[in-house]
Structures are given as C-alpha cells and as structure tokens.
Amino acid sequence: MLLASEKYDSDLHLNIGTGEDLSIKELASKVSKFSGFTGQTKWDSSKPDGTPRKVLDVSRLRALGWMPKVSLDDGIKETIQYFEANYN
C-alpha cells in the first residue's frame, strides 16, 4: 500500500499477487497438506467450474518495483500457524 501511494498515480486498479495461476483444487490440496487435514475433500461436480483461469495481471505493480516477499506455501503455513495459536 505504501509503495502504491508513493509511486502510483492512475485511476486504473492494481492487482496484488504472484502473477501465477493456481486452481482451487491445487489450493485446497495445499491447505489440507499444511494443516494436517487427513480427511477427504468432496467436490460437487453438479456446480459450474467457474473461470478457467484466475491469474491476476500484476504488471502495473511489478513496474513499480514490487515483488512478493512471501511465497504462497509460506503464506498458507503462516496463516495456519496464526489461527492455531490464536483461535484453538
């Protein structure tokens, strides 16, 4: 937010992310793995699959010099650790 407020002067939105695509199934698998969930994930195939690609265009933010400092895997792990420490 600070970088954008100091360096970005446009009405166009800024996406924040890695710029890499990840399916909901892949994300659910990561969360299950890192949380120690050993149950089964059930998928409702009667529902629409949604948008085939959900990757954000982060080129405007990258042009400002911003790069993510935390990987998705590390972010998931840290979030799980936070919730386990604060909400169990």
In this structure, how many other beta carbons lie within 10 angstroms of the beta carbon of residue 61? 21
What are the tokens at 84?
A: 């386990």
* Predicted local distance difference test score (pLDDT) of residue 64: 94
- Within the chain, how many helices (H) and strands (E) appear? 4, 0
Residue pair 19/62 in contact (Cβ under 8 Å)? The answer is yes
30 CB-near residues (< 8 Å, 6+ apart) = 72, 73, 76
Domain ranges of the chain: 2-37+51-87
Which tens digits make up the pLDDT trace of 5-33?
899 999 999 998 888 888 888 999 999 99
Which tens digits make up the pLDDT trace of 44-88?
888 877 776 778 899 999 999 999 899 999 999 999 999 999 997
Task: Tell me the fold of 2-37+51-87.
Answer: UDP-galactose 4-epimerase; domain 1 (3.90.25)
pLDDT above 90 for 43:
no
* Predicted local distance difference test score (pLDDT) of residue 13: 92
